[in-house]
Amino acid sequence: MADLVYMAEYRWDGRAWIVQFRDPDIATFGRTLVAAKRFARSALAVHLELDDLETLGIAVVDDVRLPPTLKDTVDDLADQRSRAETLRTEVAVTTRRAAAELRRLGLSTRDVGEILGISGARVAQIDRTS
């Protein structure tokens, strides 16, 4: 955990990302969000007269401000991605379990693959890791 945390607020002005720190009161910008984040850290380091923020326990929290309707859409997307990742994990576990049970019945890797909708090569790979 960082010893010091600084908040950087990012707003799109139609041409670039404007970055504002409240404390200390410094600002910068970048044409892309990645560039703006890099410049924000650089500006903070210069202001604090430091070479490397991270090794000194200083963190920057990026607060990217979007219009409310877009923020809701982006938040919904993040939730959907999280649910999809959880489902992917559950599907992989269930697939491994089903493949192992079908193989214990004596079915071939091709038959197991056909039943589960995966390739025989994937079934063989599951066999090797089980």
CATH number at residue 25: 3.30.2390
Please tell me the predicted confidence (pLDDT) of residue 93: 96
Helix (H/G/I), strand (E/B), else coil: 6: strand
Same domain as 81, residue 58: no
Is the predicted pLDDT of residue 1 greater than 60, yes or no? no
- The answer to whether 21 touches 8, Cβ cutoff 8 Å, is yes
Tokens for 43?
């500006």
Predicted TM-score (pTM) of this structure: 0.66
Question: Can you give the residue range of the structural domain that contains 25?
Answer: 4-65
Is the predicted pLDDT of residue 33 greater than 70, yes or no? yes
Please tell me the predicted confidence (pLDDT) of residue 3: 84
Please tell me the predicted confidence (pLDDT) of residue 54: 85
Same domain as 44, residue 89: no
Same domain as 54, residue 14: yes
Q: What does the pLDDT look like over 89-107, one tens digit per residue? A: 999 999 999 999 999 999 9
Q: In the predicted model, what is the mean pLDDT of residues 39-57?
A: 93
Same domain as 61, residue 8: yes
- Whole-angstrom distance, CA of residue 42 vs CA of residue 31: 15
